[in-house]
Chains A and B, each alone.
Chain A
């Protein structure tokens, strides 16, 4: 009870009104963590996107020597055919990023829909929860194996694996938020006023569920990137000759004595991606908490 009747603090001007919800998420990228994480991600996204421009020789351009140690020209050295590992890693980023940037938003949208379906019909909501329980009951890689068997190894199988696997996280968060929000007095107030159901959902419930979901999205991106690596390492993911971080590791581990950078390079990329998304998740979390406390 900080305010005094005659002088409530923080006179919020009209300008601030527009997208105050969005502003807090953007504000996350103004914190040091958000800036580093966001910057790192941007650099990697641009590198992946512009790889054909930056390295016009493509992934298969061979140098004269195989297993060259790292040099300025080839920061990660060369592989068994004398190809630049760094260039292959950059191209591999295209796979990792395209996978998670497609699959995770899909999973988020579908998860929200399924999680909030309980508002439309209680039974439908229950069914969705059971589906989530079953997905979570499967150890993650076992699920991946089933999907790979069903539709064949490749980008699509990986994308579906990532989607299915992150679905319950979003669905449960959305449902949890729905259950708490639904009984909030301001939602009841809107109902009593006669505000239509769909409007209550989009205006009162959905915005208040978004906070944890966005944080979860960054975390699911990391999980997705690592899932690609896991399945590709054992040969069930991206199939050679397309370079992905997982396929590089699959081959790299065979030559770990001859060329440690063959393994270390992709790992550095993986860790950088994880770091970027982790920092973003942290920054979002902090921004959300800050907005809540204010």
Chain B
């Protein structure tokens, strides 16, 4: 197992480094001179130059990067040049909303993904099979923002069942919070759930063809037990890895979903910061999203290794 993890580690580290570099470069790529922004539009060239030196922007990029990475790693996320507030504070204010959304969506995704996948996996023929296949295909092909808009049109406009925009924290008022949360969470979760379902279904079909399933039948094992101990047990790894990848997509999808449902989360913060050219905030949010995606993926690989004796014992 340690071997396996050690083998995976370089790519995790590489991914983190690349992300850090990209996040670091974002403000520079975005154009505009930070020193100019700080100095204001009617500052003289000398003033700007002084501020540039003061901010350390005249040093080589590599030095600036090490400096920046060091301070981020030690918890100093920097200061917004636009609002002059610490980035950590800006993000902190929005974190709760996004966590609620992403958390709810993740739970929905896992439950629906595994549920649909297993249901499809055990329904091998006839009309129910075609129905499940069709449902998964449609959900799979429709991304979160489109799903979200359709949900709004159906439940918010046509039937007027659920409020479509705005939010209340679940912690403050669970019932109302939930009613605001349910549509965006579903919109975010459904396409990813369909992806998991498709993979689980395909894997189960594949395991079913394995000779050890025939051997279990030849042993006289009842069908339900074959399904659980042999087919499902050997499909778990696929489900775990699929889930691990999809959680990153949920975070990214939150950007658009928050815009559509007018939720004041990190996604909205990212979007408004881009429009305001507040790149110090954007870079931290990007870093944050990728680091979480990478770590969740790595976690899912650890879980996979724990589930599979071939990796656990030898890999």
- Decide: A274 near B157, CB < 8 A? Known: A133-B15, A137-B294: no
23 contacts between A and B (CB under 8 A): A130-B14, A134-B15, A139-B253, A141-B253, A141-B255, A142-B255, A145-B255, A145-B274, A146-B26, A148-B274, A149-B29, A149-B30, A150-B26, A226-B145, A230-B256, A233-B145, A233-B260, A234-B271, A236-B271, A236-B274, A253-B152, A263-B152, A271-B142
Q: Does A287 contact B (CB under 8 A)?
A: no
Q: How far is the CB of B143 from chain A (nearest CB, A)?
A: 4
Residues of chain A contacted by B248 (CB below 8 angstroms): 137, 139
Give the residue of A233, A257, A278 whose beta carbon is less than 8 angstroms from that of B256. Answer: A233
User: In the complex, which residue of chain A has the Cβ closest to the Cβ of B246?
Assistant: A139
Q: Does A264 contact B (CB under 8 A)?
A: yes
Number of A-B residue pairs, CB cutoff 8 Å, is 111
Q: Is the CB of A260 within 8 A of B252?
A: no
Complex CA gap A141/B258 in Å reads 13
Q: Does B239 contact A (CB under 8 A)?
A: no
Q: Does B122 contact A (CB under 8 A)?
A: no
Q: How far is the CB of A116 from chain B (nearest CB, A)?
A: 22
Residues of chain B contacted by A152 (CB below 8 angstroms): 31
Chain A residues in the interface with B (C-beta under 8 A):
130, 133-134, 137-142, 145-146, 148-152, 222, 226, 229-230, 233-236, 249, 253, 256-257, 260, 263-264, 267, 270-271, 274, 278
Q: Is the CB of A263 within 8 A of B279?
A: no
Q: Is the CB of B145 within 8 A of A230?
A: yes
Give the residue of A130, A149, A256 whose beta carbon is less than 8 angstroms from that of B274. Answer: A149
Q: Is the CB of B153 within 8 A of A263?
A: yes
Residues of chain B contacted by A278 (CB below 8 angstroms): 137, 141
Q: Does B9 contact A (CB under 8 A)?
A: no
Q: Is the CB of A138 within 8 A of B271?
A: no
Q: Is the CB of A142 within 8 A of B286?
A: yes
Give the residue of A134, A139, A148, A260 whose beta carbon is less than 8 angstroms from that of B18. Answer: A134
- Decide: A264 near B256, CB < 8 A? Known: A134-B18, A145-B270, A146-B22: no
